[in-house]
Structure 1
Amino acid sequence: MGKYDFRCVECNEKAPELHRDYSNGILKITICESCQKPVDKYIEYDPVIILIDAILCKTQAFRHILFNTSLNIHWKLCVFCLLCEAYLRWSLLHGSEQSSDPADIIRYTKEWEFYGMFGLAALELSAFCGGVLCFLWVVVGRLQGGTPELSLVLRALLLSCYGKVLLIPAVIWEHDYSPLCLGLIKLFVLTSNSQAIRVILNSSRRFSLMAVCFGLLSETCVAQACRKLPWSIQDMLTSE
């Protein structure tokens, strides 16, 4: 990282370092010059504590993850979550026709319908991220004269989709889930997306919610188009 790429998790001010390494393995946490608090208290915390704070959507935890770490698993996490979502959609297509034999899962995943559902899920996620980035580019870049770091925003959006990992129990326990549960997972993911945008841009909660709503509108339009258009993939899959 550069000299001033770190951020204080409390006040969001830039900092040259998180800690200073003295001889004999002695570390001293850097104090923020602005708020007089530790720049990043999470460097001493257990990863489980950091994860819990991130699940609680704490601003300090998001700043630690997005600014003060070099976590580059966003693409792998994205693909993993899309696989879970694709399996759920595929299972909804088949309903009670699925076999209860666990060995059949390998055969199921080879069907083109599963890959079609994966493509639809990826398309909707792309529409959501594209809608958010377009909104930020127009509002921040054009109207407000700012320069939003769209690549950093994209990384934040993908990382903040970690809530989709909650779909794993639905994949493991087959149909032991409900639309209410899936709706709550969706709400949690959108809340995390909003918090990530708020942290990256240091903006108000209302502005980040507007960006997420615009992205959700784009995702919904793409999803409806995939269902309504005669050449849609979903219609071709369900008609077979």
Structure 2
Amino acid sequence: MVKDAFRCVECSEKAAELHRDYKNGILKITICESCQKPVDKYIEYDPVIILIDAILCKTQAFRHILFNTSLNIHWKLCVFCLLCEAYLRWSVLHGARRSSHPADIIRYTREWEFYSTFGVVALELAAFCGTALCFLWIWVQVQGVRGVQVWVRGPEVRPVDVGLLFRALLLSSYGKVLLVPAVIWEHDYSPLCLGLIKLFVLTSNSQAIRVILNCSRRLSLTAVCLGLLAETCVSRVCEKLPWILQEGPPP
């Protein structure tokens, strides 16, 4: 990676390297010049520990994942989560019954309603991410023009890297993987469980925005709430659209 591509997981300052190789199997973790702590302590941790810290929404774990690793699974994770959510909604819509017969499974998966549901779910995600990204980009531009900085945690807010921020939003939606048990066990779940999963995903999205922009929780929550509002509006419009099409234009 290029120079200053890494970030200290403690203070978020730039770093040229995470560790130095002295050969013969001798590695020394780089110390941050700003906070005098290891730049990235997670390079010595087991992936399970990193995952647990990410589930707990620890800032250090998010910085390690978003800045100091080269994970390129955000698109695969996004498609996988969309498929699970679409199947879950589709099964609820049609009141699917439990069946272990392979022919029934094939027949159900051929329903075109599943693909339309997948399209609606993807459109909702696009509305959420697009609204949040637009709001953050406009906010940073306005702050730059005014020359003032509010809702900033550090000495300055970072410019919006739309690609990096979009990747962070997709990766931080990993909580939707919890929908897999709901898909496996079909109707053995409750609206409360799905609501908690949604709350966890939004919390992770907010934390990812804070890490990328070095902003306050207030700004990240505002962006997430606006994205959720846009997602809800798209969902309501898509629910009413079939009825509008069936009624047709007024005589």
Short-chain TM bin:
over 0.9
- The sequence identity of aligned pairs, in percent, is 78
**Could you say which residue in structure 1 is the equivalent of 2:202?**
190
**Could you say which residue in structure 2 is the equivalent of 1:17?**
17
Tell me whether 1:101 sits opposite 2:100 in the alignment: yes
Contact between 1:19 and 1:29, CA under 8 Å: does it hold in 2? Answer: yes
Aligned equivalents of 1:5 and 1:154: distance in 2?
Answer: 18
- Stretch deviating more after TM superposition (219-228 or 139-148): 139-148
**Could you say which residue in structure 1 is the equivalent of 2:155?**
none
CA RMSD of aligned residues (A): 1.7
Q: CA deviation at 1:189?
A: 0.1
Contact between 1:225 and 1:232, CA under 8 Å: does it hold in 2? Answer: no
Stretches of structure 1 that go unaligned for 5 or more consecutive residues are none
Stretches of structure 2 that go unaligned for 5 or more consecutive residues are 146-157
**How many residues get paired?**
234
Tell me whether 1:226 sits opposite 2:238 in the alignment: yes
Q: CA deviation at 1:2?
A: 1.1
The list of structure 1 runs, each at least 4 consecutive aligned residues, that deviate by more than 6 angstroms after superposition, is none
Aligned equivalents of 2:200 and 2:38: distance in 1?
Answer: 29
Q: CA deviation at 1:78?
A: 0.1
Contact between 2:159 and 2:213, CA under 8 Å: does it hold in 1? Answer: no
Matches within 5 A, 1:125-136: 125-136=125-136
Aligned equivalents of 1:179 and 1:152: distance in 2?
Answer: 33
Q: CA deviation at 1:144?
A: 3.5
- Stretch deviating more after TM superposition (15-24 or 138-147): 138-147
**Could you say which residue in structure 2 is the equivalent of 1:81?**
81
SS at match of 1:20: strand
SS at match of 1:70: coil
Q: TM-score, normalised by structure 1?
A: 0.93
Q: Alpha carbons of 1:117 and 1:230: their partners in 2 closer, same or farther (altered >3 Å)? A: closer
Which structure dedicates a bigger proportion of its chain to helix?
Answer: 1
**Could you say which residue in structure 1 is the equivalent of 2:172?**
160
